[in-house]
């Protein structure tokens, strides 16, 4: 096995592990938000805006994982 094989393996693991966390977090966020809206429909606009902000932060973590994977792959 050469260095390129290890780089490819590290890139795949970085994206796999770095993507599963935000995916789970976004799923839990959406589930809890839908639950909260179901209990209190009048507060749906406040819940939705907070949910979108939290999802953006979770997506930022996935983008960081992508950047690290690209650095591993091409540097």
Domain span holding position 34:
3-74
pLDDT in tens, 10-29: 999 999 999 999 999 999 99
Instruction: Give the H/E segment covering residue 74.
Output: helix 44-74
Q: How many domains does the chain have?
A: 1
CA–CA separation, 72 vs 62, rounded Å? Answer: 15
Contact 58, 22 (CB under 8 A): yes
CATH number at residue 16: 1.20.20.10
| DSSP conformational letter for 1 | -
CA dihedral 36, 20, 62, 69 (to 10 degrees): 180
pLDDT given at position 44 = 95
Q: Give the residue ranges of the chain where pLDDT is below 50.
A: none
Q: Can you give the pLDDT at residue 1? A: 84
């Amino acid at each position: 096995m050469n260095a390129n094989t290890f780089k490819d393996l590290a890139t795949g693991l970085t994206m796999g592990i770095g993507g599963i966390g935000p995916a789970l977090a976004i799923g839990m966020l959406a589930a809890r938000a839908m639950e909260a809206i179901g209990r209190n429909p009048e507060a749906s606009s406040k819940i939705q805006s907070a949910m979108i902000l939290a999802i953006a932060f979770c997506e930022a973590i996935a983008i960081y994982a992508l950047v690290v994977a690209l650095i591993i792959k091409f540097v």
